[in-house]
Amino acid sequence: MSDNEYEPISGQDDHMNLNEDEAEILPDESASNVRSRPSSRVSTSSTSSRSRARSSRSIKTRNTESSVWQFFNRNTEQHPGRPVCSNCNAVFETSSSTTTLRRHLDLHQIIAPKRKQKSIDDYRTDPHTTKDQKERDDAVITWIVCDQQPFTVVECPQWRQMISKFDPRYQFHNRQTTKEQIINLFNSKKTDVKNLIAEIPGKVSFTSDMWTASNSDAFLSLTIHYVDNNWEFKNFLLDIIPFSARHTGINMGDAIMNVLYEYGLAEKALALTTDNASSMVVCGDHLVNELEFEFENLTFAHYRCAAHVLNLAVTKGLELVDESVVKIRKLMHFIKTSSPINNGLKSLCNVKNITYLAPELDVKTRWNSTYYMLNKW
């Protein structure tokens, strides 16, 4: 056999007859990389897989390349492969980090924006686990309750778009499901309150008040006050009772009794404090009779709020100067309801370099409001 038989056949690639290591040399590989390879032979399919993997990594590297490189040239004839500043032609080592290059850009007052690092979770779209989904549902319904949002907010397209930006994996619910979740949360918290009340060692007292919302719906509030096992004074809103019946003392007393029965507080009730409304006085007397008759609770008593009593005394005392107060009230009302007069007063205060005080009217249900009105006169 002649030596010519070992030469490559015309038209074939030269690397076909080379050994495996030589066939794998890449243009940008160093000699140390080549020498460090294992000498074992691998299959052609394995070689192709590695090549594709390297190509994929190369593409990914190019796509995520730092933004500092747009201010440096790595292909100059004088310094091939070394970063050269496009502004001052400063030359850096090939091993220079992007942090070093950023410091140099600071000298030119150039800011290269940093790329946000994304984790694998940023690209996931599969649903959360049951536990994680529930944690997010609880956060949503807590926000709805605390911010008094309607149930329909969870179906708002703009709200869903915002949440999807924050968490693409969150699974949305309709308003019926959200309502059920809030009711379940309420029942759970109610059970916690009952367990807490059962652990109260002694007697409890209450404060109550009737008030009307802007839409004319009436509510009766009931707040509990007690001393816990650590001798710390505690209080919290026990219930807000929607009131569609007439606001009579008997009706309010029956509503409070229903709450005491529900939470097992009838035997622990010590006192009720309310304002001086005639209906509240009747309510207190009704509760005294009911608790004494049903539970032989002889210690329960109704008290009138001392602050309300003091306010009544002050209101009565103001009648002594009522004529002057009425005149000032008319003047304040005239200024407050007339824009030209009010604007003229502002201009006059500016000319005289006097602090302008907005006119204020007193309201019977707002304590100290008469004092504030007189103080601005």
What span, in angstroms and rounded, lies between the C-alpha atoms of 244 and 5? 109
- Give the model's pLDDT for residue 357: 84
Question: Which residues lie closer than 8 Å to 285 by C-beta, 6 or more apart?
Answer: 249, 302
**Mean pLDDT score across all residues of the chain:** 82
pTM given for the model: 0.57
> Do 208 and 192 contact (CB within 8 A), yes or no?
no
Nearest to 172 by CA among 150, 145, 142, 141: 141
Determine the Cα–Cα distance for residues 366 and 320; give it in Å rounded to an integer: 20
Q: Which residues of the chain have pLDDT under 50?
A: 1-45, 53, 55-63
Give the residues across from 222 on adjacent strands. Answer: 208, 239
Q: Are 154 and 140 in contact (CB under 8 A)?
A: yes
Give the C-alpha separation, 354 to 357, whole Å: 9
Domains of the chain, with CATH numbers? Answer: 3-63 (no CATH), 67-107 (no CATH), 120-189 (no CATH), 199-304 (3.30.420.40), 317-376 (no CATH)
The rounded distance, in Å, linking the Cα atoms of 97 and 116 is 18
pLDDT tens per residue across span 224-254: 999 998 899 999 999 999 988 888 999 999 9
Q: 91: which DSSP letter? A: B
